Structure 1
Amino acid sequence: MKKITFALPKGRLFSQSIEIFQKSGILNENIDQNTRKLILESKDFKFLVVRSKDVPVYVESGIADIGVAGDDVLLESNPDVYKPVDLKVGYCNIVVAGKPEDKEFYFSNPSNISVATKYPKITQEYFSQKGINVKIYELYGSVELAPLVGLARFIVDIVETGTTLRENGLVVIEPIRPSTAKLIVNRISYKLKSEKIFPIIEKIEEYLRN
């Protein structure tokens, strides 16, 4: 039978995910992402090393059976997948940030604001709920630059320690919601490969309970 395929995001979340798989007993080998290879294999599994934003695409399409993605990515892309387990890693907060002197304007109940972000869907929904018209500048690089050069007054981004904000003279103005990494599963794989996928989910859940 074909190996179960995981789509994992590059970077620290990859390492944290592999550690959970090892400690839960579903993976007995060491998987090192420090290689140019984009497909890594163990005895029982295949791992696709992808950008975090691409994980839901690979899982929803069925190229990968299982993936690991943060709430920020899942809320933005809203993929049609199962989300059976909160892995309790990758803690971040999705926030509104800006210059300290713009705090008063933000909380003055403005009717219009401008926001730079990598998360246009999350941003639009959040400010729509607040009844604020928002002009969104979608960026793919460092959004912290936008308020500094006058592109947008505020940003919506994920923040872990806040160091990058502080180094650029920005502050968290309002938290939107926390974000952690979730195990996600392709809906067809969940049904057709249940004899392999259910034990994976159960072992991870058991490990996380202890």
Structure 2
Amino acid sequence: MKSCQVETTSLRIAIQKSGRLTDKTINLLENIGLKFDGYKDRLLVKSLNFDVELLLIRDDDIPEYVQDGICDLGIVGANVSLERGADVEVIRDLQYGMCRLSVAVPKSSGFHTMHDLNNKRIATSYPNLTRKYFSSRGIDVKIVEISGAVEIAPRLDVADAIVDLVSSGGTLKTNGLQELEVILHSQSQLIRTRKPIPAEKLDLIDKFLIRINGRQLAERSRYIMMNAPRESLEVISGLIPSLKSPTILPLAEPDMIAIHSVIPTDKFWEVMEELKAAGASGIVMLPVESMIV
């Protein structure tokens, strides 16, 4: 792609204009404090309260725009970046848009192993990943590239099997297909250009990542409060898998204390019964909006 870049001091982030990641991406940006005055009918949208602008484009174009330095960052599915083969840096997974790229066959086809597909037609919107995967397995296939509605290709006798994105598997079942093998697991990722970035933009990226870090950590954490006998403090403190030492507050009853802490959500349910057995009562768990550690 030839650069058509307009120089800007704002941090420019490419996101999907319309698709399965769009709403969740906008939600993420709003949850880290960025405000936008409408975005659905515009190509370039500037934040009202942070020096960042969004470029809303087709998800297939995001990796190349970031690769060429037209955008500093991009938010896109790993499946798209890998299919496009763009030379970008993956900064981190964003924990949404989970899916898998799978080989699927008609239930009535009699195909039970990957080698049953030797010399068969495979319909897909991911020709590069599909070709690479089958080649790595030593299986010769004919790739039939389709831009949409891949799941109906076998019913139309366009292909013998498909390679497509799967989330719940409902679309496959509706079309009489079943998964044969998973090629890769995918989710949304934050990617960055390898082109030189001015110092002022690097500073903006650091600030942006602090917000992303805080939001991701908060989503995995919960704020807990409980009352407990003062004599149980040492035992309870040892049970709480917190990031820092818990906050201890006195209560009206001199032999009782309140304990506040932030813990990983998945760990809370593992230790709840132990906390109760150690004397904790009135245990309350609350969501955390953001965290800076």
TM-score normalised according to structure 2 size:
0.65
CA contact (8 A) 1:18 1:31 kept: no
Of Structure 1 and Structure 2, which has the larger fraction of its residues in helix?
Answer: 1
Q: In structure 1, the residue corresponding to 2:195 is in which secondary structure? A: helix
Change (3 A) 1:153 1:31: farther
- Count of aligned residue pairs for this structure pair: 206
Could you say which residue in structure 2 is the equivalent of 1:176? 183
Deviates more, 1:130-139 or 1:196-205: 196-205
Could you say which residue in structure 1 is the equivalent of 2:280? none
Could you say which residue in structure 2 is the equivalent of 1:34? 40
**Quick one: which amino acid aligns to residue 40 of structure 1?**
V
Could you say which residue in structure 1 is the equivalent of 2:27? 19
Deviation at 1:108, TM superposition (A): 6.9
Deviation at 1:62, TM superposition (A): 1.3
Could you say which residue in structure 1 is the equivalent of 2:258? none
Distance across 1 between alignment mates of 2:37 and 2:107? 43
CA contact (8 A) 1:65 1:189 kept: no
Q: Is residue 2:189 matched to residue 1:167?
A: no
1:85-119, Cα deviation, whole Å (9 max, x unpaired): 100111111111120022x4241733322201010
Could you say which residue in structure 2 is the equivalent of 1:77? 84
Could you say which residue in structure 2 is the equivalent of 1:91? 98
Deviation at 1:175, TM superposition (A): 1.7
What are the equivalent positions in structure 2 for 1:85-164 lying under 5 Å apart?
85-102=92-109, 104-107=110-113, 109-110=115-116, 111-164=118-171
**Quick one: which amino acid aligns to residue 115 of structure 2?**
N
Change (3 A) 1:161 1:153: same
Change (3 A) 1:172 1:33: farther
Distance across 2 between alignment mates of 1:108 and 1:52? 30
**Quick one: which amino acid aligns to residue 81 of structure 1?**
V
Distance across 2 between alignment mates of 1:98 and 1:31? 45
CA contact (8 A) 2:114 2:180 kept: no
Deviation at 1:195, TM superposition (A): 1.2
Q: Is residue 2:222 matched to residue 1:206?
A: no
Deviation at 1:78, TM superposition (A): 1.6
Deviation at 1:136, TM superposition (A): 0.2
Could you say which residue in structure 1 is the equivalent of 2:276? none
CA contact (8 A) 2:36 2:45 kept: no
Change (3 A) 1:121 1:207: same
Structure 2: give runs of 5+ residues left out of the alignment: 1-7, 219-293
Distance across 1 between alignment mates of 2:92 and 2:82? 16
Distance across 2 between alignment mates of 1:191 and 1:131? 46
Distance across 1 between alignment mates of 2:114 and 2:147? 29
Distance across 2 between alignment mates of 1:126 and 1:18? 33
Q: In structure 1, the residue corresponding to 2:12 is in which secondary structure? A: strand
Deviation at 1:170, TM superposition (A): 1.7
Distance across 1 between alignment mates of 2:97 and 2:38? 19
Percentage of pairs with the same residue: 35
Distance across 2 between alignment mates of 1:150 and 1:194? 52
Which residue, out of 63, 71, 91, partners 1:64? Answer: 71
TM-score normalised according to structure 1 size:
0.89
**Quick one: which amino acid aligns to residue 193 of structure 2?**
N
- Max radius of gyration: which structure? 2
**Quick one: which amino acid aligns to residue 7 of structure 1?**
A
CA contact (8 A) 2:67 2:195 kept: no
RMSD of aligned residue pairs (Cα, Å): 1.9
